[in-house]
Each structure stands twice: as C-alpha cells, then as structure tokens.
Amino acid sequence: MTLQERDKKHLWHPLTQHKIHPEALPIVKAKGALLYDENGKEYIDGIASWYTAMYGHCNDFVLQRAQEQMQQLDQIVFSGFTHKPAIELSEKLIDILPDNQQKIFFSDNGSTANEVGIKMALQYHFNKGEKRNTIIAFEDGFHGDTFGAMSASGLSVYNGPFEDFFIDVQRIPTPNKENFEYVMKELFEIITTYDVAAFIYEPLVQGANAMHMFEAEYLDQILQVCQGNDIITIADEVMTGFGKTGKNFASEYIETKPDIISMSKALTAGFVPMAITSCTQEIYDAFLDDSVGKAFFHAHTYSANPIACAVAIAGIELLQSKEIQENIQRIITSHQGFNTKIKDHPKVKTTRQKGIIYALDLNVEMDRYGKKRYEIFNHFMQKGIFLRPLGNTIYILAPYVVTEDQLNQVYDSILDLLDTF
C-alpha cells in the first residue's frame, strides 16, 4: 500500500471534508525553503508551513541545539521545578518584546496562548472584585479553535454547532480612514453597555482573514480607549510575531503597548509545538495574594518543555542575526518590485504588503473552500510551489531563507496563473 492509501485508513485531517478531498500528499523531507514528496518532486514552501519554519526547514543550527538539549533534559514538570532553557528563553524574549512585557506563561499552541490571555484578563478583574464578562474582538478575526479562542474569532462560518456555548463577545470592524468614527462610536457603546474585560486583536495583519491589513494609528486610538477603561488589551501575535511585519513584533508599530501578547507558530522555528503568553507586571501582580485561590490555575502537561525552549532560544538568536535581518530586508524589497509589476494587472483587484507578508486579491469571486480555489492550489503545486489561497486571495509568506531565485519562481507562477483564467 502507498502512503496515501495507508493515510486514508486511520487519519482524520484538519479543515478537510474527506468526502470531497480524500487524498493528502505525503511529504517525506524538508530543507530550507523546500519540501520534497515521495517521488522527489520539490516544492517551494511559499507560506513557511503556516508561518512556522521561518528560518528554513530542518535548520542545522536549531537542529544542533535540539539535539544537545534532548541529551541533557527532555521533560520536567514546570510546576515547582524550573530549568535553564526556560529561564534563558524568558530573558531573551523579554529583551525583544515591547518594554512593558515582564512575565511569560507557557502553553502548547496559538489557540491555548489566546485562551490563557483571555483567562488572565477575566481573572485579573475577578481577583480585583469586579465581575466583567464581555470580550471585544474584531469582525473576521481569527484566534484559534479552542472554545475561548473560537468565541473570539469572527471567522466563525463553520462554528455553527458550537455557537450556543461561546463566551460573550462584542465585535467592532477593523478601523480605516472611512469607518473610523463609526468604529469609535460602536466601541463606546459596547463599553457603556457591557462589563468589558478585554479586547483581543491581531495587530495590523489578520492572517486567516486573507491577510487583511489595517493602519497602526487607528488601532492605537482603540487601544487607548480600552486601557483608559481598564480593559485588558490582548495582542494576538501568533501569526505576526518574530519578524514577519518587518519588526520583531507588529505591536512595535503601535504606540500603545498591549497588556498581554500571545505568540506561537514561528516561536519554535517550525520544530515543535509551543506557545507563550506574555504580560505586564501589573497583570501578574493581580494574581499575588496570601490566598491560593487568586493564583492562575492553568497548566499544560508539557508547559515549558525544555527541548521546545532550547529550540525557541535558537530561533530568537537566528532572528537577531545579521543574515536573517538582511534577508528580511531583501524579501521586502523583492515583494515591492513584484508588486510594481503586478498591481495594475487586469486580473488583480488589490494588493497589499506588510514586511515580508505579501497578498493580492484576484478579480474573481470565490468560495473560501470552493472548487476554483482548489484549481488554483493545484496550478501552483504542479509548478512546484506551495501556496495556500484563501478564497480569491493569494499570499506569500515564505521562510526568511528563501532565495531570490526561489522567490522569482513563486512570482512567475502567480503571473502564469493570471494568464490562464
């Protein structure tokens, strides 16, 4: 039996309607910006495997650190014990996070990082004797698939069976020049009508919402109003974190700093799952008390796994290296060049870029998981390019180690697509 046949026997894939799409492509190897299938065919990983493997797949430097750590300490309960990789990671991370971030809390993935952020915010108010139970979130935001994170996600077209069990969320549109007054009016109305505990948002780029982008200055004013009303601000940097917007964190573009930041995806350089929720000293202090009951009673078995921490430290060192920083600037410039070439193409509706994130909307209507979308996906795969269109949006978020030649192949495959329909 082939791998594909054996896959079908027992495996259930995420975001997959198995009746329509029974086949999954086996990938046997990955290195740098390349993926290899069973037949040795190469694919350029144009989205860094969901923005995780930003320093390249199976990066040798990260691999060596993982190996060293695996031989030293594999796993230890993080409640009552500590270890050097977690301590070192906390120091390195606090160094590059916005100045007001002081404490870091571990979990396993982007959804749980947000879950932790939401629970911290709710308990922050609870511990102060205030009952606040409403969360504000953007329309069409995405924060993950666990219950709290799913409730906050506006992209909930497929959440029908669960909606009756969601936590209370009020939504505002992402702000722009035209709607800004309306957004602020809505915000004030929500704040005066409900007991709002927190505002959760993806700063500047909404990944799952087809790389929708918006301006820092408007978001800044929303954050100011929230913080003026003791509403905890939670920046979901799970997608935007670790250099993708051209700065280490998108929050650096915004004057008002968030109280809480959630991160995952590129945190561990694509090697293993881990997530972190950071917060200010003020949040942390609200959990200090002579009573155990005010502590944050949230744990995951693998919290701060030493191997994951060692890998994350290696990732941050790479992010700060001259080579990666130069690569980021190079990719930004290349995307700008491509954009000049393509933005007025009749088949292109709009284009946008923030840092190394580049997206274009095709001039056709398309369902997010419709037939046309799969045709476009297959067009790229045939050419040895892994891009994952979101409806009529095609976006590039390649690893920082992608070469100019590989980038040009990605650009050419998009130009080819435009000529074929």
- Footprint on this chain of ligand PLP (rule: CB under 6 A): 109-111, 114, 142-144, 202, 207-208, 236, 238-239, 264
Question: What is the nearest approach in angstroms of ligand PLP to the Cβ of residue 383?
Answer: 26
Query: Environment class of residue 356 by beta-carbon count within 10 Å: exposed (0-12), middle (13-18) or buried (19+)?
Result: buried
Distance between CA atoms of residues 286 and 125, nearest Å: 8
Residue 97 or 238 having the CB closest to ligand PLP: 238
Residue 156 or 409 having the CB closest to ligand PLP: 156
Question: What is the nearest approach in angstroms of ligand PLP to the Cβ of residue 250?
Answer: 10
Question: What is the nearest approach in angstroms of ligand PLP to the Cβ of residue 50?
Answer: 7
AA identity, residue 104: I
Question: Which of 133, 114, 279 minimizes the C-alpha distance to 207?
Answer: 114
Residue 237 or 259 having the CB closest to ligand PLP: 237
Residue 213 or 418 having the CB closest to ligand PLP: 213
Question: What is the nearest approach in angstroms of ligand PLP to the Cβ of residue 157?
Answer: 17
Task: Name the closest residue to ligand PLP (Cβ).
Answer: 110
Question: What is the nearest approach in angstroms of ligand PLP to the Cβ of residue 419?
Answer: 32
Question: What is the nearest approach in angstroms of ligand PLP to the Cβ of residue 14?
Answer: 9
- Put the strands of the sheet holding 357-362 in their side by side order: 348-354, 357-362, 393-396
Query: Environment class of residue 332 by beta-carbon count within 10 Å: exposed (0-12), middle (13-18) or buried (19+)?
Result: middle
Question: What is the nearest approach in angstroms of ligand PLP to the Cβ of residue 49?
Answer: 12
AA identity, residue 21: H
**In angstroms, what CA-CA distances link 266 with 159, 355, 367, 376?**
26, 15, 28, 26
DSSP string, 218-279: HHHHHHHHHHHTTPEEEEE-TTTTTTTTSSSSGGGGSSSPPSEEEE-GGGGTTTS--EEEEE
Distance between CA atoms of residues 153 and 157, nearest Å: 10
Question: What is the nearest approach in angstroms of ligand PLP to the Cβ of residue 40?
Answer: 30
**In angstroms, what CA-CA distances link 207 with 22, 188, 386, 395, 397?**
26, 27, 17, 10, 10
Question: What is the nearest approach in angstroms of ligand PLP to the Cβ of residue 265?
Answer: 6
Question: Which of 241, 285, 240 minimizes the C-alpha distance to 259?
Answer: 285
Residue 98 or 207 having the CB closest to ligand PLP: 207
Distance between CA atoms of residues 286 and 132, nearest Å: 15
Judged by phi (left if over 0) then psi (alpha if -120 to 50, else beta), residue 90 lies in alpha
Distance between CA atoms of residues 70 and 306, nearest Å: 8
Question: What is the nearest approach in angstroms of ligand PLP to the Cβ of residue 114?
Answer: 6
Distance between CA atoms of residues 156 and 332, nearest Å: 32
Residue 46 or 207 having the CB closest to ligand PLP: 207
Residue 263 or 360 having the CB closest to ligand PLP: 263
Residue 127 or 206 having the CB closest to ligand PLP: 206
Residue 108 or 259 having the CB closest to ligand PLP: 108
Question: What is the nearest approach in angstroms of ligand PLP to the Cβ of residue 403?
Answer: 26
Q: What is the CA radius of gyration of the chain?
A: 22
Residue 200 or 222 having the CB closest to ligand PLP: 200
Residue 114 or 406 having the CB closest to ligand PLP: 114
